[in-house]
Amino acid sequence: MSELGRHRWPVLPAFAVFGLLFVGPLAFFLVVSFWRLRAYKLVPDFTLDNYLDVWSEYLHAAIFTLLISLLIAILTTVIGFMIAYLARFRAGRYGNLILFVVLVTLFGGYLVKIYAWKTILGTGGILNSTLVDLGLINEPLAWLLYSPTAVVITLVNFLLPFTVLPIYGSLRGIDEVPLSAARDLGAGGARVFRDIVLPQCKPGLFAAFAVSFLITAGDYVTPRLVGGPNTFMAGNFIESQFINRLNAPIGSALSYAMLIGCGLVLLLFQKTLTRVLKPR
């Protein structure tokens, strides 16, 4: 057997899973977005009506979703960077403890965490009762739960571990030698940070931002459970098209419209990141 052949067949099962259960279904799902629905049955067609419907009916939901995802992605990336920076450069022997906490919270129960925030943020919840007991507020803050604020808090909490790890991965790769060289040559802390630390973090920052942005933009469980009656994100509409209206074509058109929107935001973010992080 040729050298190349021998190292090619073992990857076939993995690519078969990827092709049959990712590329195939997503391609079919894209095709369905151009089909019609007649009497609850899918009818092959080539129509842009579904996309036009999405544009006229869900544009505001899509924009709201992209904006709240942008806010959450920026918050998690900044806080995630600070935690990673703390663990790498400032925390000394506590650095490993911080990483351990991050890893423990990475895999622990998506639904369970959302449920926990529901009990923390409610008017009778721990946060409000503690604030009242401390005398900081007179009556419970009703806007903490069933509001966009609750969605932001819950998702930032859930996504932080996913942002700390890739950024820490980038920071770990930074050598101490150029840092001390720059300082010996008279560069201040801010200058070292801006010209050496940040540019090297670019891949980690982008990965962190992309993961938290995409997961938020496609989420429907968090807004459903803690967002209240007025926080509808695109995911809620996509889900309800499938579950309540059994309308796969509109649901898939909305999914792909959101994916395109997300792709544009990520492209813009990468361009901005490259421009901002260019060493002067």
Partner 1 sequence: METSPLSKTLWGLFGTVSMLFLLSPIALVVIFSFGENRLATLPMGGFTFKWYGKLIADPNFWSALENSLIVTLSVGAISTVIGTLAAMALARWRPGTANAAMMTLSLPVMMPPLVLALALATSLSSLGLRFGLHTVIPSHLVFTQPFVILIVYAQMANFNFAMLDSARDLGATPWHAFFTIVLPNIRSTLIGAALIAMSVSLDDFIITFFTIGNGMTLPTLVWGMLRTALDPSINALGTLILIATITSSVIALSITRYRG
Which CB, 12 or 278, lies closer to partner 1?
12
Burial class (CB in 10 A: 0-12, 13-18, 19+), 96: exposed
Position 110 contacts partner 1 (CB under 8 A): yes
Which CB, 259 or 277, lies closer to partner 1?
259
Among 63, 104, 246, 267, interactor with partner 1 by CB under 8 A: 104
Q: Of the listed pieces 48-56, 112-120, 144-152, 270-278, which binds partner 1 according to CB under 8 A?
A: 112-120
Position 70 contacts partner 1 (CB under 8 A): no
Length of the chain: 280
Instruction: Work out how close the CB of 110 gets to partner 1 at its nearest, in angstroms, rounded to a whole number.
Output: 6
Instruction: Work out how close the CB of 200 gets to partner 1 at its nearest, in angstroms, rounded to a whole number.
Output: 15
Position 61 contacts partner 1 (CB under 8 A): no
Q: For residues 43-71, b (16+ Cβ closer than 10 Å) or e, as one string?
A: eeeeeeebbeebeeebeebbebbbebbbb
- The first and second tokens of residue 6, run together, are 């021998």
Among 252, 253, 265, 273, interactor with partner 1 by CB under 8 A: 252
Q: Of the listed pieces 26-34, 46-54, 70-78, 270-278, which binds partner 1 according to CB under 8 A?
A: 26-34
172 within 8 A of 88, measured Cβ to Cβ: yes
Q: Of the listed pieces 18-26, 45-53, 138-146, 267-275, which binds partner 1 according to CB under 8 A?
A: 18-26
**Nearest alpha-carbon partner for 234 in 63, 37, 70:** 63
Position 226 contacts partner 1 (CB under 8 A): no
Which CB, 125 or 178, lies closer to partner 1?
125
Which CB, 68 or 238, lies closer to partner 1?
238
In angstroms, the CA 120 to CA 153 distance is: 11
Position 13 contacts partner 1 (CB under 8 A): yes
Position 129 contacts partner 1 (CB under 8 A): yes
Distance (Å) of CA 174 to CA 49, 163, 213, 270? 51, 18, 26, 21
Amino acid at position 209, single letter: F
In angstroms, the CA 261 to CA 231 distance is: 19
Position 166 contacts partner 1 (CB under 8 A): yes
Position 103 contacts partner 1 (CB under 8 A): yes
* Residue whose pair of structure tokens reads 């070292």 in the numeric block: 192
Amino acid at position 60, single letter: H
Position 214 contacts partner 1 (CB under 8 A): yes
Instruction: Work out how close the CB of 76 gets to partner 1 at its nearest, in angstroms, rounded to a whole number.
Output: 12
Q: For residues 10-21, b (16+ Cβ closer than 10 Å) or e, as one string?
A: eeeeeeeeeeee
Instruction: Work out how close the CB of 63 gets to partner 1 at its nearest, in angstroms, rounded to a whole number.
Output: 17
64 within 8 A of 151, measured Cβ to Cβ: no
Query: How many alpha carbons lie under 13 Å from residue 132 in its C-beta half-sphere?
Result: 13
Position 37 contacts partner 1 (CB under 8 A): no
Instruction: Work out how close the CB of 198 gets to partner 1 at its nearest, in angstroms, rounded to a whole number.
Output: 14
**Which DSSP category does 39 fall into?**
T
Q: Of the listed pieces 49-57, 135-143, 144-152, 165-173, which binds partner 1 according to CB under 8 A?
A: 165-173
